[in-house]
Structure 1
Amino acid sequence: MSLKEQITDDMKSAMRAKETARLGTIRLLLAAMKQKEVDERIELDDVAVVAIVDKLIKQRKDSVAAFEKAERQDLADVEKAEILVLQAYLPERMSSEEVTAAVNAIVAELGASGPGDMGKVMGAVKSKLAGKADMGQVSAAVKAALAG
């Protein structure tokens, strides 16, 4: 079963169980997926769905930070609940040690050195680690690898 089919099945089960918060989040995800398919006239595969989930989680994290800064904990809690629902659709993430090791291997493979090569390294890293690691963590690892 593809990730897209699993999300659709989860929507149906959330409807039956009358889980309104979970249902709303899943519908948001399905709408974002449908929008991408219509805009680009493509059929989404699991990698593209994971990228959309990652994007939605990043938006929610930014919202949580803004709401907490404005002392609106009630709204921050809603966003955190949505993050938990969305994270269920992400594959197992790599640990920080695994990310660092993968980045160091790619830097060595490309023969990159210094901050000027960051774009070249990030391009290679993105293609290999997309969906498997938090890209903020990956970016920090690349900066550290190129600085050392």
Structure 2
Amino acid sequence: MPAFALPVRRRNDRSKATRVRRTLAVAATAAAVLALPVVGATSASAATPAAEAATATTYRGSLDGWIRQSLAVMAKHGIPGSYQGIYRNVMRESSGNPRAINLWDSNATKGIPSKGLLQVIDPTFRAYHVPGTAYDPYDPVANITAACNYAAHRYGSIDNVNSAY
């Protein structure tokens, strides 16, 4: 074997490693989502059962709440991603505006503009829509969750997306 040749990596090894990374990312996402309701509690007695139940299913109508609600849906469906990865991509794509629409790029010239927090085009939204979310690309939770589902299939996780996707 020549000194400059790199070892050949078998495709099967790569997909196995990808599955392991994705499984770990899903487990980390689920752990983070489970920890969210008790983050504000200062002691075990500070969070009442009623408050815990409300916090677990109710989120504020803000970017923070939309991301947290999306993470909860993603955990139920095994879609990896982190709060930081979603937030970073939302800020780059829409600056946090759920009604953002791109009317100038190549998708827009084809008649399918990118929409919402993570700038998803309609065909991608339809293909990667996650049950339990609204069927509306402008709905913040549906947009985030569909985009993260797409990113998981294409890049392993939204955390691996660092530019337009």
TM-score of the superposed pair, with normalisation by structure 1: 0.27
